[in-house]
Amino acid sequence: MCYNKKKACGLNAETENYLAMKEYEVSIEEVTPCGGDKHARRSIIEIETDSPENWVRENCAFKILDVITCENGDIRIIAGSDAGYRNTYVFSE
């Protein structure tokens, strides 16, 4: 097995995907239509993923409404429903 800055050789596709993953701290805010921002649930988790958008698609029941890349490099993804539910995910490396 050898490693090259431009290409990893001798690796299978699963290993190459793992090497492409980044570690993120994710701040999650879940807002319900009844509670609003005042009663939002907030949590922070650490994850590894190659795509924050794909991670939200796989782990959130709602559709993605907006993706914003902040000046500091954070990625903010807002997902929600027509019924008023809204989840905000902020991915920080």
The domain in which residue 43 lies consists of: 22-92
pLDDT surpasses 50 at 4: no
Tens digit of pLDDT for each residue in 11-37?
A: 555 655 556 789 999 999 999 998 878
pTM listed for this prediction? 0.78
State the Cα–Cα distance between residues 9 and 4, nearest whole angstrom. Answer: 8
Please name the helix (run of DSSP H) or strand (run of DSSP E) that holds residue 63, with its range, or none. Answer: strand 63-69
State the Cα–Cα distance between residues 87 and 32, nearest whole angstrom. Answer: 9
Q: How many domains does the chain have?
A: 1
> In degrees rounded to 5, what are phi and psi of residue 63?
-80, 150
pLDDT surpasses 80 at 66: yes
In a domain? residue 43: yes
Cβ atoms 56, 79 nearer than 8 A: yes
In a domain? residue 38: yes
Structure tokens given for 51? 């795509």
Q: What is the mean pLDDT of the chain?
A: 85
pLDDT surpasses 50 at 41: yes
